[in-house]
Structure 1
Amino acid sequence: MAGRGRPRAFDRAAALRGAMETFWESGYEGTKLTDLTAAMGINSASLYNAFGSKEELFREAVALYGATAGSATGRALREKPTARGAVEAMLRGNIDTFADPNTPAGCMIVLAAANCSQQNREVGEYLAGWRRRAVAELEARLEQAVSEGELPAGTDVRSIAAFYATVLHGLSVEARDGVPLERLSSTVDHAVALWDSLVGRAAAPQP
Protein backbone atom coordinates (compact mmCIF):
# COMPACT_ATOMS: atom_id res chain seq x y z
CA MET A 1 0.00 0.00 0.00
CA ALA A 2 1.28 3.46 -0.85
CA GLY A 3 2.51 5.52 2.07
CA ARG A 4 0.18 8.06 3.56
CA GLY A 5 0.39 11.41 1.80
CA ARG A 6 2.43 10.06 -1.09
CA PRO A 7 1.53 11.86 -4.35
CA ARG A 8 -0.53 9.79 -6.76
CA ALA A 9 1.38 8.59 -9.82
CA PHE A 10 0.40 10.19 -13.13
CA ASP A 11 1.41 10.26 -16.77
CA ARG A 12 3.86 13.16 -16.89
CA ALA A 13 3.86 13.41 -20.69
CA ALA A 14 0.07 13.55 -20.87
CA ALA A 15 -0.03 16.12 -18.07
CA LEU A 16 2.52 18.28 -19.86
CA ARG A 17 0.51 18.14 -23.06
CA GLY A 18 -2.57 19.27 -21.13
CA ALA A 19 -0.58 22.19 -19.75
CA MET A 20 0.72 23.07 -23.21
CA GLU A 21 -2.77 23.28 -24.68
CA THR A 22 -4.00 25.35 -21.74
CA PHE A 23 -1.17 27.89 -22.02
CA TRP A 24 -1.61 27.90 -25.80
CA GLU A 25 -5.30 28.70 -25.46
CA SER A 26 -5.23 31.20 -22.58
CA GLY A 27 -1.69 32.56 -22.50
CA TYR A 28 0.69 32.57 -19.57
CA GLU A 29 -1.00 35.21 -17.45
CA GLY A 30 -4.51 34.13 -18.42
CA THR A 31 -3.90 30.60 -17.17
CA LYS A 32 -4.68 29.97 -13.50
CA LEU A 33 -3.31 27.18 -11.36
CA THR A 34 -6.77 25.63 -11.21
CA ASP A 35 -6.90 25.65 -15.04
CA LEU A 36 -3.63 23.76 -15.14
CA THR A 37 -4.49 21.16 -12.54
CA ALA A 38 -7.82 20.49 -14.26
CA ALA A 39 -6.20 20.13 -17.69
CA MET A 40 -3.35 18.00 -16.34
CA GLY A 41 -5.49 15.78 -14.12
CA ILE A 42 -3.31 16.35 -11.06
CA ASN A 43 -3.39 18.38 -7.86
CA SER A 44 -1.26 21.42 -7.15
CA ALA A 45 1.20 19.49 -4.97
CA SER A 46 1.90 17.05 -7.80
CA LEU A 47 2.29 19.93 -10.24
CA TYR A 48 4.92 21.64 -8.11
CA ASN A 49 6.68 18.37 -7.29
CA ALA A 50 6.93 17.39 -10.94
CA PHE A 51 7.51 20.76 -12.63
CA GLY A 52 8.78 23.14 -9.96
CA SER A 53 6.72 26.25 -10.69
CA LYS A 54 4.23 27.68 -13.14
CA GLU A 55 7.02 29.37 -15.08
CA GLU A 56 9.12 26.21 -15.27
CA LEU A 57 6.05 24.29 -16.42
CA PHE A 58 5.41 26.95 -19.06
CA ARG A 59 8.95 26.66 -20.38
CA GLU A 60 8.60 22.89 -20.67
CA ALA A 61 5.25 23.35 -22.39
CA VAL A 62 6.78 25.75 -24.92
CA ALA A 63 9.59 23.27 -25.61
CA LEU A 64 7.00 20.55 -26.19
CA TYR A 65 5.10 22.84 -28.56
CA GLY A 66 8.29 23.58 -30.47
CA ALA A 67 8.99 19.87 -30.86
CA THR A 68 5.45 18.93 -31.91
CA ALA A 69 2.75 21.32 -33.13
CA GLY A 70 5.23 24.15 -33.64
CA SER A 71 7.79 22.18 -35.63
CA ALA A 72 6.64 23.17 -39.14
CA THR A 73 9.17 25.98 -39.55
CA GLY A 74 12.25 23.97 -38.66
CA ARG A 75 11.07 20.98 -40.68
CA ALA A 76 10.45 23.07 -43.80
CA LEU A 77 13.81 24.83 -43.57
CA ARG A 78 15.65 21.52 -43.15
CA GLU A 79 13.83 19.39 -45.68
CA LYS A 80 12.96 21.50 -48.71
CA PRO A 81 15.64 21.64 -51.42
CA THR A 82 15.12 25.31 -52.32
CA ALA A 83 14.76 28.41 -50.19
CA ARG A 84 11.58 29.43 -51.98
CA GLY A 85 10.11 26.00 -51.39
CA ALA A 86 11.18 26.12 -47.75
CA VAL A 87 9.50 29.47 -47.18
CA GLU A 88 6.28 28.32 -48.82
CA ALA A 89 6.27 25.05 -46.86
CA MET A 90 6.96 26.99 -43.66
CA LEU A 91 3.93 29.22 -44.21
CA ARG A 92 1.58 26.47 -45.34
CA GLY A 93 2.65 24.02 -42.66
CA ASN A 94 2.12 26.60 -39.95
CA ILE A 95 -1.33 27.72 -41.10
CA ASP A 96 -2.44 24.09 -41.08
CA THR A 97 -1.55 24.05 -37.38
CA PHE A 98 -2.92 27.53 -36.68
CA ALA A 99 -6.33 26.60 -38.09
CA ASP A 100 -6.51 23.01 -36.83
CA PRO A 101 -9.92 22.67 -35.13
CA ASN A 102 -8.50 20.07 -32.73
CA THR A 103 -6.02 22.45 -31.11
CA PRO A 104 -6.06 26.09 -29.96
CA ALA A 105 -5.91 28.59 -32.81
CA GLY A 106 -2.75 30.42 -33.78
CA CYS A 107 0.83 29.98 -32.62
CA MET A 108 1.61 29.45 -28.95
CA ILE A 109 5.03 31.10 -29.29
CA VAL A 110 3.50 34.23 -30.82
CA LEU A 111 0.42 34.51 -28.61
CA ALA A 112 1.04 32.96 -25.19
CA ALA A 113 2.85 35.97 -23.72
CA ALA A 114 1.70 38.79 -25.98
CA ASN A 115 0.52 40.96 -23.08
CA CYS A 116 2.74 39.96 -20.17
CA SER A 117 2.98 42.43 -17.32
CA GLN A 118 6.29 43.78 -16.10
CA GLN A 119 6.46 41.19 -13.34
CA ASN A 120 6.42 38.44 -15.96
CA ARG A 121 8.77 40.12 -18.41
CA GLU A 122 11.13 37.12 -18.29
CA VAL A 123 8.36 34.94 -19.69
CA GLY A 124 7.77 37.40 -22.52
CA GLU A 125 11.49 37.55 -23.21
CA TYR A 126 11.67 33.75 -23.23
CA LEU A 127 9.14 33.58 -26.06
CA ALA A 128 10.77 36.51 -27.85
CA GLY A 129 13.97 34.46 -27.81
CA TRP A 130 12.17 31.58 -29.51
CA ARG A 131 10.89 33.95 -32.20
CA ARG A 132 14.34 35.47 -32.74
CA ARG A 133 15.86 32.02 -33.15
CA ALA A 134 13.23 31.10 -35.74
CA VAL A 135 14.03 34.25 -37.74
CA ALA A 136 17.75 33.45 -37.46
CA GLU A 137 17.10 29.93 -38.80
CA LEU A 138 15.19 31.38 -41.74
CA GLU A 139 17.96 33.88 -42.39
CA ALA A 140 20.54 31.08 -42.30
CA ARG A 141 18.52 29.09 -44.84
CA LEU A 142 18.47 32.10 -47.15
CA GLU A 143 22.22 32.58 -46.71
CA GLN A 144 22.64 28.93 -47.70
CA ALA A 145 20.63 29.65 -50.85
CA VAL A 146 22.99 32.52 -51.67
CA SER A 147 26.05 30.33 -51.18
CA GLU A 148 24.53 27.63 -53.40
CA GLY A 149 23.66 30.09 -56.17
CA GLU A 150 19.89 29.90 -55.81
CA LEU A 151 19.78 33.54 -54.71
CA PRO A 152 22.05 36.23 -56.15
CA ALA A 153 25.07 37.46 -54.26
CA GLY A 154 24.21 40.56 -52.28
CA THR A 155 20.66 39.43 -51.47
CA ASP A 156 19.49 41.13 -48.28
CA VAL A 157 18.56 37.91 -46.51
CA ARG A 158 17.84 39.72 -43.24
CA SER A 159 15.10 41.83 -44.79
CA ILE A 160 13.52 38.88 -46.59
CA ALA A 161 13.60 36.75 -43.43
CA ALA A 162 12.03 39.59 -41.44
CA PHE A 163 9.29 40.01 -44.04
CA TYR A 164 8.25 36.36 -44.04
CA ALA A 165 8.48 36.13 -40.25
CA THR A 166 6.14 39.12 -40.02
CA VAL A 167 3.71 37.45 -42.41
CA LEU A 168 3.84 34.28 -40.33
CA HIS A 169 3.16 36.12 -37.07
CA GLY A 170 0.26 37.98 -38.66
CA LEU A 171 -1.24 34.71 -39.87
CA SER A 172 -1.14 33.45 -36.29
CA VAL A 173 -3.09 36.46 -35.05
CA GLU A 174 -5.61 36.12 -37.87
CA ALA A 175 -6.14 32.45 -37.08
CA ARG A 176 -6.77 33.31 -33.42
CA ASP A 177 -9.34 35.85 -34.63
CA GLY A 178 -11.19 33.09 -36.46
CA VAL A 179 -10.05 33.71 -40.02
CA PRO A 180 -10.67 30.42 -41.89
CA LEU A 181 -7.93 28.32 -43.45
CA GLU A 182 -8.89 29.21 -47.02
CA ARG A 183 -8.33 32.91 -46.34
CA LEU A 184 -5.06 32.22 -44.55
CA SER A 185 -4.02 30.16 -47.57
CA SER A 186 -4.87 33.06 -49.88
CA THR A 187 -2.57 35.31 -47.85
CA VAL A 188 0.19 32.73 -48.22
CA ASP A 189 -0.42 32.66 -51.99
CA HIS A 190 0.16 36.42 -52.15
CA ALA A 191 3.22 36.29 -49.89
CA VAL A 192 4.83 33.55 -51.99
CA ALA A 193 3.99 35.43 -55.19
CA LEU A 194 6.16 38.29 -53.90
CA TRP A 195 9.26 36.08 -53.69
CA ASP A 196 10.80 37.01 -57.05
CA SER A 197 10.25 40.73 -56.59
CA LEU A 198 11.62 40.61 -53.04
CA VAL A 199 14.72 38.75 -54.14
CA GLY A 200 15.23 41.10 -57.08
CA ARG A 201 14.72 44.22 -54.98
CA ALA A 202 16.90 42.94 -52.15
CA ALA A 203 19.84 41.94 -54.33
CA ALA A 204 22.62 44.46 -54.70
CA PRO A 205 23.36 45.52 -58.31
CA GLN A 206 26.07 43.39 -59.86
CA PRO A 207 28.88 45.02 -61.87
Structure 2
Amino acid sequence: MTEAEWLASDNPQAMFQVLGTPSPRRMRLFACACCWRIAPQLTEAGRRAIEAAERFADAGAAQDELRPVLVSFRSMELRSQGANLDTHLAVSDALDVRDGNRSAMWASSWAASASADTPAEWKAQAALVRCIFRRVQPPPLDAAYRTDTVLALAAQMYESRDFGAMPILADALQDAGCDSADVLDHCRDPEGTHARGCWVVDSVLGKE
Protein backbone atom coordinates (compact mmCIF):
# COMPACT_ATOMS: atom_id res chain seq x y z
CA MET A 1 0.00 0.00 0.00
CA THR A 2 1.48 3.33 -1.09
CA GLU A 3 1.17 6.50 0.98
CA ALA A 4 -1.47 7.80 -1.43
CA GLU A 5 -3.46 4.57 -1.06
CA TRP A 6 -3.09 4.76 2.73
CA LEU A 7 -4.44 8.32 2.79
CA ALA A 8 -7.39 7.41 0.54
CA SER A 9 -8.25 4.02 2.01
CA ASP A 10 -11.68 3.31 3.50
CA ASN A 11 -10.67 -0.21 4.55
CA PRO A 12 -9.25 -0.31 8.10
CA GLN A 13 -8.65 -4.05 7.95
CA ALA A 14 -6.44 -3.66 4.86
CA MET A 15 -4.59 -0.76 6.49
CA PHE A 16 -3.69 -2.95 9.48
CA GLN A 17 -1.90 -5.32 7.11
CA VAL A 18 0.81 -2.75 6.32
CA LEU A 19 1.51 -1.68 9.91
CA GLY A 20 4.08 -4.35 10.69
CA THR A 21 3.99 -4.92 14.46
CA PRO A 22 1.92 -2.10 15.92
CA SER A 23 1.93 -1.18 19.58
CA PRO A 24 -0.51 -3.37 21.57
CA ARG A 25 -1.54 -0.21 23.42
CA ARG A 26 -2.48 1.55 20.20
CA MET A 27 -4.39 -1.47 18.92
CA ARG A 28 -6.39 -1.66 22.15
CA LEU A 29 -7.08 2.09 22.06
CA PHE A 30 -8.29 1.69 18.48
CA ALA A 31 -10.64 -1.05 19.72
CA CYS A 32 -11.89 1.34 22.41
CA ALA A 33 -12.37 4.11 19.83
CA CYS A 34 -14.53 1.75 17.74
CA CYS A 35 -16.56 0.86 20.82
CA TRP A 36 -17.03 4.54 21.66
CA ARG A 37 -18.56 4.97 18.20
CA ILE A 38 -21.45 2.71 19.22
CA ALA A 39 -21.58 3.99 22.81
CA PRO A 40 -25.10 5.46 22.29
CA GLN A 41 -26.29 1.86 21.97
CA LEU A 42 -24.65 0.87 25.26
CA THR A 43 -25.68 1.17 28.88
CA GLU A 44 -23.69 3.14 31.44
CA ALA A 45 -22.04 -0.16 32.40
CA GLY A 46 -20.84 -0.49 28.82
CA ARG A 47 -19.29 2.94 28.86
CA ARG A 48 -17.55 2.12 32.13
CA ALA A 49 -16.18 -1.01 30.49
CA ILE A 50 -14.65 1.01 27.66
CA GLU A 51 -13.10 3.40 30.17
CA ALA A 52 -11.62 0.45 32.09
CA ALA A 53 -10.18 -0.96 28.86
CA GLU A 54 -8.57 2.41 28.11
CA ARG A 55 -6.99 2.44 31.57
CA PHE A 56 -5.80 -1.10 30.96
CA ALA A 57 -4.23 -0.01 27.67
CA ASP A 58 -2.39 2.80 29.41
CA ALA A 59 -1.36 0.50 32.28
CA GLY A 60 -3.52 2.55 34.62
CA ALA A 61 -5.58 -0.53 35.39
CA ALA A 62 -4.38 -4.01 36.11
CA GLN A 63 -5.96 -7.05 34.49
CA ASP A 64 -7.64 -7.90 37.80
CA GLU A 65 -9.42 -4.52 37.64
CA LEU A 66 -10.49 -4.81 34.02
CA ARG A 67 -11.96 -8.31 34.22
CA PRO A 68 -14.55 -7.65 36.98
CA VAL A 69 -15.83 -4.57 35.14
CA LEU A 70 -16.29 -6.58 31.95
CA VAL A 71 -17.85 -9.56 33.77
CA SER A 72 -20.29 -7.23 35.55
CA PHE A 73 -21.17 -5.54 32.25
CA ARG A 74 -21.72 -8.88 30.53
CA SER A 75 -23.81 -10.29 33.38
CA MET A 76 -25.98 -7.19 33.56
CA GLU A 77 -26.76 -7.35 29.86
CA LEU A 78 -27.53 -11.06 29.95
CA ARG A 79 -30.01 -10.44 32.77
CA SER A 80 -31.64 -7.48 31.05
CA GLN A 81 -32.02 -9.19 27.66
CA GLY A 82 -32.02 -5.75 26.05
CA ALA A 83 -32.73 -5.02 22.41
CA ASN A 84 -29.03 -4.44 21.76
CA LEU A 85 -27.85 -7.53 23.61
CA ASP A 86 -25.69 -8.80 20.72
CA THR A 87 -23.95 -5.43 20.46
CA HIS A 88 -23.32 -5.30 24.21
CA LEU A 89 -21.89 -8.80 24.33
CA ALA A 90 -19.74 -8.09 21.25
CA VAL A 91 -18.27 -4.97 22.87
CA SER A 92 -17.58 -6.91 26.06
CA ASP A 93 -15.86 -9.71 24.14
CA ALA A 94 -13.79 -7.30 22.05
CA LEU A 95 -12.54 -5.46 25.13
CA ASP A 96 -11.84 -8.71 26.96
CA VAL A 97 -9.47 -10.12 24.32
CA ARG A 98 -5.94 -10.17 25.70
CA ASP A 99 -4.32 -9.78 22.29
CA GLY A 100 -4.50 -6.15 21.14
CA ASN A 101 -4.55 -7.05 17.44
CA ARG A 102 -7.51 -9.38 17.80
CA SER A 103 -9.30 -6.89 20.06
CA ALA A 104 -8.96 -4.21 17.36
CA MET A 105 -10.21 -6.52 14.63
CA TRP A 106 -13.21 -7.68 16.65
CA ALA A 107 -14.20 -4.19 17.73
CA SER A 108 -13.84 -2.91 14.18
CA SER A 109 -16.05 -5.65 12.75
CA TRP A 110 -18.71 -5.38 15.45
CA ALA A 111 -18.92 -1.60 15.22
CA ALA A 112 -19.40 -1.92 11.46
CA SER A 113 -22.10 -4.56 11.86
CA ALA A 114 -23.92 -2.42 14.46
CA SER A 115 -23.93 0.62 12.19
CA ALA A 116 -26.92 1.62 10.10
CA ASP A 117 -24.47 2.71 7.38
CA THR A 118 -21.64 0.17 7.17
CA PRO A 119 -19.64 1.90 4.38
CA ALA A 120 -19.70 5.16 6.35
CA GLU A 121 -18.55 3.29 9.46
CA TRP A 122 -15.61 1.70 7.61
CA LYS A 123 -14.67 5.16 6.33
CA ALA A 124 -14.78 6.61 9.85
CA GLN A 125 -12.69 3.74 11.18
CA ALA A 126 -10.11 4.23 8.43
CA ALA A 127 -9.79 7.84 9.58
CA LEU A 128 -9.22 6.54 13.12
CA VAL A 129 -6.47 4.23 11.84
CA ARG A 130 -4.75 7.24 10.27
CA CYS A 131 -5.13 9.15 13.54
CA ILE A 132 -3.66 6.44 15.77
CA PHE A 133 -1.12 4.81 13.45
CA ARG A 134 1.44 5.94 10.92
CA ARG A 135 2.28 3.79 7.91
CA VAL A 136 5.89 4.88 8.44
CA GLN A 137 7.01 5.57 11.99
CA PRO A 138 7.58 9.34 12.41
CA PRO A 139 10.73 10.69 14.08
CA PRO A 140 10.43 11.62 17.76
CA LEU A 141 9.05 15.06 18.46
CA ASP A 142 11.76 17.54 19.43
CA ALA A 143 11.71 18.06 23.19
CA ALA A 144 11.91 21.83 22.61
CA TYR A 145 8.39 21.73 21.15
CA ARG A 146 6.90 20.40 24.40
CA THR A 147 6.22 23.77 25.98
CA ASP A 148 3.91 24.10 28.98
CA THR A 149 1.13 25.21 26.65
CA VAL A 150 1.63 22.31 24.25
CA LEU A 151 1.72 19.77 27.08
CA ALA A 152 -1.35 21.22 28.77
CA LEU A 153 -3.38 21.18 25.56
CA ALA A 154 -2.40 17.61 24.71
CA ALA A 155 -3.04 16.33 28.24
CA GLN A 156 -6.44 18.03 28.44
CA MET A 157 -7.57 16.53 25.14
CA TYR A 158 -6.30 13.09 26.05
CA GLU A 159 -8.07 13.04 29.42
CA SER A 160 -11.35 14.52 28.15
CA ARG A 161 -11.46 12.67 24.82
CA ASP A 162 -12.44 16.02 23.31
CA PHE A 163 -10.00 16.79 20.51
CA GLY A 164 -11.59 20.02 19.36
CA ALA A 165 -8.46 21.95 20.32
CA MET A 166 -6.23 20.15 17.78
CA PRO A 167 -5.91 23.30 15.59
CA ILE A 168 -4.91 25.25 18.70
CA LEU A 169 -2.32 22.56 19.47
CA ALA A 170 -0.95 23.07 15.94
CA ASP A 171 -0.59 26.81 16.60
CA ALA A 172 1.17 26.14 19.91
CA LEU A 173 3.55 23.65 18.30
CA GLN A 174 4.30 26.06 15.49
CA ASP A 175 4.95 28.85 18.01
CA ALA A 176 7.41 26.49 19.71
CA GLY A 177 9.32 26.03 16.44
CA CYS A 178 7.71 22.90 14.98
CA ASP A 179 7.62 23.08 11.18
CA SER A 180 6.68 19.46 10.42
CA ALA A 181 3.98 19.49 7.76
CA ASP A 182 2.85 16.00 8.84
CA VAL A 183 2.33 17.11 12.44
CA LEU A 184 0.71 20.45 11.69
CA ASP A 185 -1.51 19.15 8.88
CA HIS A 186 -2.72 16.29 11.07
CA CYS A 187 -3.75 18.75 13.77
CA ARG A 188 -5.45 21.13 11.34
CA ASP A 189 -7.20 18.65 9.06
CA PRO A 190 -10.82 19.91 9.03
CA GLU A 191 -12.04 16.39 8.29
CA GLY A 192 -9.73 14.77 10.82
CA THR A 193 -11.01 12.22 13.31
CA HIS A 194 -9.15 11.94 16.59
CA ALA A 195 -9.18 9.59 19.56
CA ARG A 196 -6.99 8.48 22.42
CA GLY A 197 -3.84 7.16 20.81
CA CYS A 198 -3.65 10.03 18.27
CA TRP A 199 -0.05 9.85 17.11
CA VAL A 200 0.57 13.61 17.46
CA VAL A 201 -0.89 13.83 20.97
CA ASP A 202 1.02 10.69 21.94
CA SER A 203 4.24 12.21 20.60
CA VAL A 204 3.71 15.31 22.72
CA LEU A 205 2.93 13.27 25.84
CA GLY A 206 5.74 10.77 25.29
CA LYS A 207 3.40 7.78 24.92
CA GLU A 208 4.16 4.84 22.68
Q: TM-score, normalised by structure 2?
A: 0.28
Greater Rg over alpha carbons, structure: 1
Q: TM-score, normalised by structure 1?
A: 0.28
Bigger RCO (CA 8 Å, 6+ sep):
2
